[in-house]
Chain A
Amino acid sequence: MINIPVEHYLIVAAALFCIGLAIAITKQHLIGILLGIELMLNAVNINLIAFSRHDPEKIGGQLFALFVIVVAAAEITVALAIILRVYGHFRTVEPDKVSELKK
């Protein structure tokens, strides 16, 4: 097994994280923001797993990544339910238009 240096994993994860951040800022759609957040969580998991390669006895990084996946699943269900609720109430999915509290 050729050892891929850990820095390569970190660079890929950093690129994915930054793209996810840019998506979450750029998209003017609540579900588009969720796509960006999912991408960021995945990028963090790549970091955890890349470091967990060097700890094969007690793979703490992989266990942490497993819990991150669980939290991401719980987050996405609740967020989608809230988005459907917001859509039913305001008839829009653009986050800038849901600004009743600012008026």
Chain B
Amino acid sequence: MELAAFYGFSGLAIVSALFILFSRNLIYAAFALFLTFLGVAALYVLAGADFLAVAQIMVYVGGILVLLIFGIMLTQKAERDVISSTPNQVIISVKRQFWGFLTGISLFCFLTYIIATANFTMTGETNISRSTLKTIGVELMTSHLLPFEIAAILLLVALVGAAYLALNRNPLSHD
């Protein structure tokens, strides 16, 4: 049962990731990325990371994906000569496609070879039946307090920087 769920969700994630790769329409790619994030969140649940799965859905789907779709819409070409039946098209050159596929496939073969020959021997208890929420909270507030604070500062700096960079953007004044 769990094995079937694992293969189903990993298949969902990989198939929608391949759809992003082959799709010419960026909006469709963003929606396929939504399916990929959901599949990855399900893999987190199957690995016993319930808090991470909820954080993944909230941060990626609720925040990052919405931002990406806004970005796609805001960088739309304003020219009228774009064919309206095929908006958001991405031009893909054959050379880039060749090098992209070559790099991806060769890296995948390399990683698969490494994983297949690594022969991991796990010691530790693997049966996590309880929630990881308490452990994460305690660890964040004790041994990982410094990275936690640095992450807070980083988020503040990113917020201020993004607001400053996107400020006063008036593309119509440039033409």
Contact = CB atoms under 8 A, between A and B. Distances in A.
Contacts of A16: 13-14, 17, 36, 40
A42 B43 CA distance: 11
A93 B100 contact: no
Interface residues of A, number: 75
A98 interface: no
Contacts of A17: 107, 111
B127 interface: yes
Interface SS of chain B: helix, strand, loop or mixed? helix
Contacts of B40: 16, 42, 45-46
Interface in B99-115: 99-101, 103-105, 107-108, 111-112, 115
Interface of A: 1-4, 6-12, 14-32, 34-36, 38-39, 42, 45-46, 49-50, 52-59, 62-63, 65-67, 69-78, 80-85, 87-89, 91, 93-94
Contacts of A50: 47
Contact of A26 (B97, B135, B174): B97
13 contacts: A4-B47, A25-B103, A28-B92, A30-B75, A38-B68, A58-B135, A59-B132, A59-B135, A63-B147, A65-B52, A70-B154, A85-B165, A93-B75
Interface residues of B, number: 91
Given A31-B68, A78-B165, A49 B103 contact: no
B83 interface: no
Contact of A8 (B6, B71, B105, B136): B6
Kindly name the residue among B21, B70, B101 whose own CB sees the greatest number of chain A CB atoms within 10 A: B21
B55 interface: yes
Contacts of A6: 120, 122
